[in-house]
Amino acid sequence: MSLEPAKARTLLFGVGLGPGDPDYMTIRARDIILRADRLVHFCKRGRRGNARVTADAIIAPDAAREIELAFPVTIEVPVEDEGYSLPIAAFYDESAALLAAEMEAGRTVAVLCDGDPFFYGSFMHLWRRLSPRFPTEVVPGVTGMAGAWTRANAPITWGDDILTVLPGTLPEAELTRRLVDTDAAVIMKLGRNLPKVRRALAAAGLVERAVYVERATMAEQVVTKLSDKGDDEAPYFSMVLVPGEGRRL
């Protein structure tokens, strides 16, 4: 007879679904989606979340199992504004309470996540609130940036290249400084920040190396040199890559 304490049954799962193509989903992610009592996804009001759309490849919509978490605000309010931070913090508190009630009733909850749950993911805010209270497993996923540089046919780091991942929300001077100081870069959170990102890349002398990727691995994928992109439109699933030029054998 084992004297080891019984391992608590996992109730909360953060499930990384990868960059959008369901073929990049892991076996572990598929298994959890198929057996969890509740499937949770973040979304914009009035729209299904991208992670839930990705999961359509393996499971049909089921209102009895699903919980939709609709953001009160998205890109219409700047993230540094209290009109964004206060409603979003309250939203995460309310969402955590909703999921806690499900788990207190003994039901397993799988939160579907784009890319990897611990990489710029909304799930992290639930994890911070819930993982101290409930047994939790985080299932890693292929990141959006890995999908992007693969579909762009752009090896991102060679030899001893240093890769820097930057949010486009940084001040322009800070973006420029960090771009000057790195060998390769991924710039995320573009949106309304794309003109600023262009200027920072120009100041760092990197515009000609920059590649714009939109909806990597998805049906609507766009890959082009940033210098060839004639507008400043950049939807949520977009990023700029600056491949390294390090040691090649």
CATH number, residue 173: 3.30.950.10
CA neighbours closer than 13 Å in the CB half-sphere of residue 112: 33
Point out the domain boundary residue: 116, 142, 168. 142
Query: Do 160 and 209 fall within a single domain?
Result: yes
Q: Whole-angstrom Cα distance, residue 156 to residue 162?
A: 10
* Helices of type H across 77-218: 82-104, 123-130, 144-151, 172-180, 194-203
What pLDDT was estimated at residue 248?
A: 87
Answer yes or no: is 3 within a domain. no
Point out the domain boundary residue: 100, 125, 142. 142
CATH number, residue 19: 3.40.1010.10
Residue type, 36: A
Query: Do 136 and 173 fall within a single domain?
Result: no
Answer yes or no: is 6 within a domain. no
List the chain pLDDT tens, one digit each, 249 residues. 444 445 679 999 999 999 999 999 999 999 999 999 999 999 998 889 999 999 999 999 999 999 999 999 765 555 566 566 888 999 999 999 999 999 999 999 999 999 999 999 999 999 999 999 999 999 999 999 999 999 999 999 999 999 999 999 999 999 999 999 999 999 999 999 999 999 999 999 999 999 999 999 999 999 999 999 999 999 989 999 999 999 888
Taking Cα atoms as reference points, which of 100, 218, 204, 243 lies closest to residue 111? 100
Query: Do 157 and 228 fall within a single domain?
Result: yes
Alpha-carbon separation of residue 31 from 8, 11, 37, 123, 159 (angstroms)? 19, 14, 12, 19, 37
Domain count, the chain: 2
222-225 and 163-167 beta bridge pairing:
unpaired
Which residues are CB-neighbours of 241 under 8 A, at least 6 positions away?
A: 145, 148, 149, 152, 154, 156, 185, 186, 187, 210, 211, 213
Residues of the domain holding 94: 12-142
Query: Do 39 and 133 fall within a single domain?
Result: yes
158: exposed, middle or buried (Cβ count in 10 Å: 0-12, 13-18, 19+): middle
